[in-house]
């Protein structure tokens, strides 16, 4: 998979992709993340990428020209499955969306900024608009990093234990069960006996029950989906 990220703040995205799983995915040739500075595509003599809004008091808006040039440049090199825009007024991103995107080959993510992007960009280029939550970030870069991370780790071969992505929280609308490591008794705080029993079947049953109970208590919205089988 290849993900091209268009941003006016490339520095903000350098470190998230330099480390951990994403770096391993790049090394194995399973995922390539390429960051582009939108400013490089501006035809303005000062390399401007924004301008005043036509509606009074609405702040600066990201202009269409450099974004169109960047997208067309990329599209001339390969076909893209989705062109994503990160924005607080997008559809809420979740595990199901990540699963869908992990099956794609080439993605573009456009990071929003200021008061948003000229609506014509959204109308004519963008195929998916995502929010990562009901709060406003200073820019869409962190949202793009969240989306790219959650998608790349699902590509087969990226995680060393193939099954671990399948047992993540949210995959079946359930939160993960609690986990423990040694020591089994830390200052009197004990690991549940069942986990020390060696009975795999009973342990699996316990883990499932814990997941269900946790979800019911902490995320009634997810629990509803789980109990409806959705
Ligand atoms: N840009 C600013 N806030 C955002 C959010 N919550 N999700 C995605 N992009 C954003």
Which atom of ligand 1 is nearest the CA belonging to 132?
A: 7
CATH code (residue 218): 1.10.1270.20
> Atom 6 (ligand 1): residue with closest C-alpha?
88
In a domain, 164, yes or no: no
CA of 84 to the centre of ligand 1 (A): 12
- Other residues' Cβ atoms within 10 Å of the Cβ of residue 128: 19
In a domain, 184, yes or no: yes
Q: Average model confidence (pLDDT) for the chain?
A: 94
Q: Are residues 193 and 114 in the same domain?
A: no
CA of 151 to the centre of ligand 1 (A): 17
Q: Are residues 13 and 90 in the same domain?
A: yes
pLDDT digits (tens, 9 = 90+) for 183-221: 999 999 999 999 999 999 999 999 999 999 999 999 999
Using pLDDT thresholds of 50, 70 and 90, give the confidence band for residue 91: very high
pLDDT digits (tens, 9 = 90+) for 41-63: 999 999 999 999 998 877 899 99
CA of 5 to the centre of ligand 1 (A): 15
Q: What is the pLDDT of residue 230?
A: 64
Q: What is the rounded CA–CA span in Å between residue 202 and residue 1?
A: 39
Q: Are residues 106 and 213 in the same domain?
A: no
pLDDT digits (tens, 9 = 90+) for 4-48: 999 999 999 988 888 877 888 989 999 999 999 999 999 999 999
CATH code (residue 119): 3.40.1280.10
Average pLDDT over residues 173-178: 94
Q: What is the pLDDT of residue 129?
A: 98
Q: What is the pLDDT of residue 166?
A: 72
Which atom of ligand 1 is nearest the CA belonging to 138?
A: 2
Q: Are residues 46 and 142 in the same domain?
A: yes
In a domain, 134, yes or no: yes
Query: For the chain, what is the domain count?
Result: 2
Residues framing ligand 1 (Cβ under 6 A):
86-88, 112, 131-133, 135-137, 140, 143
CA of 17 to the centre of ligand 1 (A): 19
Q: What is the rounded CA–CA span in Å between residue 64 and residue 98?
A: 27
Question: H-helix or E-strand containing 71?
Answer: helix 64-75
Q: Are residues 11 and 57 in the same domain?
A: yes
What is the longest distance spanned by two Cα atoms in the chain? Answer: 71
Judge whether residue 162 has pLDDT over 60: no
Domain carrying residue 45: 2-152
């Amino acid at each position: 998979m290849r993900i091209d990220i268009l941003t006016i703040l490339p520095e903000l995205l350098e470190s998230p992709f330099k480390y951990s799983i994403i770096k391993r995915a790049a090394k194995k040739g399973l995922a390539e993340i390429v960051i582009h500075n939108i400013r490089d595509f501006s035809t303005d003599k000062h390399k401007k990428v924004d301008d005043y809004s036509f509606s009074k008091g609405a702040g600066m808006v990201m202009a269409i020209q450099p974004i169109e040039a960047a997208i067309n440049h990329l599209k001339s090199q390969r076909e893209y499955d989705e062109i994503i825009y990160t924005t607080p007024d997008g559809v809420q991103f979740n595990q199901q969306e990540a699963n869908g995107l992990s099956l794609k080959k080439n993605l573009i993510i456009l990071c929003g900024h200021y008061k948003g992007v000229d609506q014509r960009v959204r109308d004519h280029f963008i195929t998916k608009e995502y929010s990562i939550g009901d709060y406003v970030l200073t820019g869409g870069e962190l949202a793009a990093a969240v989306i790219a991370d959650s998608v790349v780790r699902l590509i087969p071969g990226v995680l060393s234990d193939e099954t671990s992505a399948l047992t993540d929280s949210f995959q079946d609308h359930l939160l993960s069960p609690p986990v423990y490591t040694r020591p089994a008794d830390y200052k009197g705080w004990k690991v549940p006996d069942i986990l020390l029993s060696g009975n795999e079947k009973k342990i699996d049953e316990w883990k499932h029950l814990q997941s269900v109970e946790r979800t019911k208590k902490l995320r009634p919205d997810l629990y509803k989906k789980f109990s409806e089988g959705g």
